[in-house]
Structure formats: C-alpha cells, structure tokens
Amino acid sequence: MVERIDNVGVAVRDLQAAESFYTRLGFRVESRDETPGALLVAGDARLYLFQTNRPEGGARRSPDLVGNPPGIDHISFWVGDVDAAYRRLAEQGLTFATEPADQDWGARACSLHDPDGNVIFLLGPLSEGRAEG
C-alpha cells in the first residue's frame, strides 16, 4: 500500500521559468532528463517539472478552495516563518494572491501562483501568542 507521496508532477509551458520560480522558493534541481523535465527537491518535497507541448493552460485556480472545479487544487509547502518567506520572495519580485494570515485550521498561510497559474500555499506556525486549537 501507499507509504508516501514520492513526487508531484507539474506540466509547465516554460521549464526554465518554472525552475526559476521554484528555486526561489528554496528548491534545488536534482536532475534533468530529455523529456524535457527536471526533478526539484527541497527537504522531503520532490517536484517533477516537465515541459508540455500544449501551449494552452487550464482555468486559473483561486486561493478560495471551495470556488474551484474538481481536480488537484494546490500545493502547500511548509516553511519555518511565513512572514519572512513572504517578505523575501516579495522583495525578489514575486506577486502574492494573499498575504500571511493565521488560519482557523491551525497554520499561518499565504498564497501565490506559479508561472503556469498553479496555486502555491506557504504554510507555517501560527503567529506568536495564538495557540493551535
């Protein structure tokens, strides 16, 4: 039976642009292949980016979970400090869909879109003074 998720495969229009985006989030390129594709790793997270030959993308998804159609909705990455990651990435020119905020379900979160419109959440511990509940 399943023990863990090995990787998440993401079809991208521009492999170099996608690699640039994800390496800014802290991933490193572990390997490349002739697909063209690249395996990126950060901690235990593994993404397989591969360049699609279909130029059109699907409908852009929203950070509002219940407003999206069925299908894989987003990728969430755990970071030690959401606010610090938000500031650092914003200074590098990345645009966020939502600012860091404590969530009722027990994490601090912000979101942005990758170059192909996939929703990416950065999750971390709640703000100091707010206990998980």
Per-residue pLDDT of 58-89, as tens digits, reads 667 777 777 777 777 899 999 999 999 999 99
Amino acid at 128: E
Which token pair is 61? 């998804």
Say which CATH superfamily domain 1-53 falls into. 2,3-Dihydroxybiphenyl 1,2-Dioxygenase, domain 1 (3.10.180.10)
76 close to 102: Cβ distance less than 8 angstroms:
no
CATH architecture of 61-133: Roll (3.10)
Q: What integer is the mean pLDDT of 10-17?
A: 94
Cα–Cα dist 38/29, whole Å: 7
Residue limits of CATH 3.10.180.10 in the chain: 1-53, 61-133
pLDDT digits (tens, 9 = 90+) for 18-41: 999 999 999 999 999 999 999 999
Average pLDDT, the chain: 91
Cβ neighbours around 112 below 10 Å, total: 20
